[in-house]
Structure 1
Amino acid sequence: MAKKGILLVNLGTPDTPSTADVRRYLDEFLMDPRVIDVNPALRTFLVKAVIVPFRAPKSAKLYKEIWSDTTGSPLKHYSILQRDALQQRLGDGYMVELAMRYQNPSIESALDNLKNALVESILVIPMFPQYASASTGSVYEKVMRLMKEWPTPPPVSFINSFYDDDLMIKTFADNALKYNPGSYDHILFSFHGLPQRQLIKADHTHSWCLKVNDCCQTINDKNKFCYSAQSYHTAKLIAAELNIPKEKYTVCFQSRLGSDPWVQPYTSEVIAQLAKEGKKRLLVFCPAFVADCLETVYEVTEEYGAEFRHLGGEEVQLVESLNDSPTFIDALERMVRRNSSLDQFQPVA
């Protein structure tokens, strides 16, 4: 009996925390034209001559801080656990593969495994709750570029986003309960940043993003595919699940690169302002990530924690990501079963 193929795709991680492997990872990641969406010649110069040579040794030191001798990269470790748990839930009628958009296991190798198993269809789940061209869009493009070379590709479909999935929201909320959110002075929902120009490009109306004040605060038909609007809505839903009043939380964005303006407010500036206001204890969610990684475990806990304490604060507590929570596996299982009927699939052109 033919199986249905499921492909989970996360962003990626170096194979090891060595400078050489980090350099290889950063080079593949930053050379993606959806990530640094500038003139190809300029992108090549920036990545090859400026960013990677200086960033790789520094990033390698940070990866060493979070690397486990037994499980390696936390992002890859939790991604494997997610794959295995989903496979167990779905049973023998499905074949679940894991891939990273950059580095290993590669999308190409995962697709080859599905092809060799003669699966009857493929459902791709980019593991990014909020849609962005630089993440989900890049996965779309890579999968389709590879599969169009297949002589007889099976039907394929994609999960576009799951920023409002109630089980995902519940998982983040449940993870926070053990910290007693009401005991913190303020709560941050810190999402991965994007250059502002990428949000503007995503506004197909050409009349919403630049002309409407606070255009991302409420999601609607005009901005329903906007990364920032989806992020704000995710935060709103988690806050509602935990009964956190609007005045007690802030949505912000981290991990800037380069000098161009990125989505604001910046997490570092929000933290500085909260310290100035006399806030002492912060609870931080990172709802753009389904697995803990460098941006959560180190950037929030270590870098922002040190910065906040230096400015007079006392504690920055990270709420763990979805990781291998059974409730999140419930969410993935439901996505698969809802989207596994053949009428949901489209043939590869």
Structure 2
Amino acid sequence: MTKNKAKTGVLLVNLGTPDSTATADVRKYLREFLMDRRVIDIPFLSRWLLVNLIIAPFRAPKSAQEYRKLWTDRGSPLLFHTEDLKRKLIKTLDPALFQVEIAMRYQSPGIEQGLAALNKANVKEIIVLPLFPQYASATNGSVMDKVMEIARKWQIIPNISFISNFVDHPLFLKAWEELGNEMLAGENYDVFLFSYHGLPERQIKKASVDGYCKLNDKCCTNYTKKNQFCYRAQCFLTTRLIAQQLGLPEEKTITCFQSRLGKDPWIRPYTEDLVKELASKGVRKVLAFSPAFVADCLETTIEVGEEYKEQFLALGGEKWDLVPSLNSRDSWVACVKELVTAKTGQAG
């Protein structure tokens, strides 16, 4: 091997987090996040007025309180779990062949910072892995868009490739199987609830090939080449595959969607509605999964793990447990390694 052989650059990108729990930092984060045209896909002026005059000013104080519940001595879990993932991944890769950087789509460390580090190292190629298992324009698409926006300004642009999703990767499923089995040991649950981040229905339809999208369970539970990039169909596929790994009864397994924003219809069923429905039907014990997130964050720890739990128990439920995210689990690190090395033809 040539001593000065150029490396392959790897950029792991997660969603982002406020720099602190101060209301001003949370407001800054919300503005950057929600002003992304792929997140709120309405005309710029309408989006600017909505975000800067309504959502950010009024939502920031409440969100700051929620982030304070989440924050630890190490800061934001989403950030430090991503940092831990990077450290562990580096140990599994040949340092002579790979350079790994992390970035957040919103706030810091930014994508521009991560790409600059790889560009400075004069890497021969860059593999970008958005850390979102299911492809959506508002997440994976936004990361790809930002990377290309930055790289097109460079004088020399190395080969840049993207990993668009990994819902059916065996090691991704294995990691969730391990976590699920740890929670299932010695426990009995009435229902297994898989809650994913929601999207407006219009975004699903906009991504439909030749108007194929029907936005119903008959369509979304049949994963084909026509709906392979449909976020809702990918979520239903993720649920089926993880449930199969764990041997969960199909009739007790539910896919649903959380985190609605605004009055427009979002993809259904809504998690908050199912919490009420399950309690009303006499369901007493629920095990919840959040497989749209690979690191614990506000949407998992607080929304699913605390808020829905409080609602369920207040309505008569007895037990509501949340399976933790993949974070920097060894089997997840192995999955990321395989995703990256497969792109270079060095897998295995």
Are 1:265 and 2:269 matched, yes or no?
A: yes
Q: Partners in 2 of 1:286 and 1:63 — Cα distance?
A: 18
Q: Show structure 2 runs of 5+ residues with no match.
A: none
Give how far 1:212 is off: 6.8
Aligned-partner residue type, residue 207 of structure 2: A
Aligned-partner residue type, residue 10 of structure 2: I
Match of 1:324 in 2: 328
Match of 1:347 in 2: none
The aligned runs of 1:102-113 (5 Å cut-off) are 102-113=106-117
Match of 1:345 in 2: none
1:307-334 per-position Cα deviation (integer Å, ceiling 9, x unaligned): 1011111221000111111001111111
Match of 2:198 in 1: 193
Match of 2:214 in 1: 210
Q: Check 1:266–1:154 CA distance in 2 against 1; reply closer, same or farther (3 A cut).
A: same
Match of 2:338 in 1: 334
1:237-275 per-position Cα deviation (integer Å, ceiling 9, x unaligned): 000001111101100000000010001000011111110
Match of 2:164 in 1: 160
Give how far 1:305 is off: 0.6
Q: Partners in 1 of 2:140 and 2:277 — Cα distance?
A: 32
1:221 aligned residue (220, 225, 228)? 225
Match of 2:59 in 1: 55
Give how far 1:210 is off: 3.0
Q: How does the TM-score come out when normalised to structure 2?
A: 0.96
Give how far 1:341 is off: 4.4
The count of corresponding residues between Structure 1 and Structure 2 is: 340
Q: Check 1:205–1:212 CA distance in 2 against 1; reply closer, same or farther (3 A cut).
A: farther
Over the matched positions of the two proteins, sequence identity in percent amounts to: 48
Give how far 1:300 is off: 0.8
2:32 aligned residue (18, 28, 31)? 28
Give how far 1:91 is off: 2.3
What SS does the aligned partner of 2:183 have? coil
Moved over 4 A (4+): none
Q: Show structure 1 runs of 5+ residues with no match.
A: 343-349
1:131 aligned residue (113, 131, 135)? 135
What SS does the aligned partner of 1:183 have? coil
The aligned runs of 1:249-260 (5 Å cut-off) are 249-260=253-264
Q: How does the TM-score come out when normalised to structure 1?
A: 0.95
Q: Partners in 1 of 2:22 and 2:216 — Cα distance?
A: 46
The aligned runs of 1:15-94 (5 Å cut-off) are 15-69=19-73, 71-92=74-95, 93-94=97-98
The aligned runs of 1:226-241 (5 Å cut-off) are 226-241=230-245
Q: Partners in 1 of 2:91 and 2:131 — Cα distance?
A: 18
Match of 1:286 in 2: 290
Match of 2:188 in 1: 183
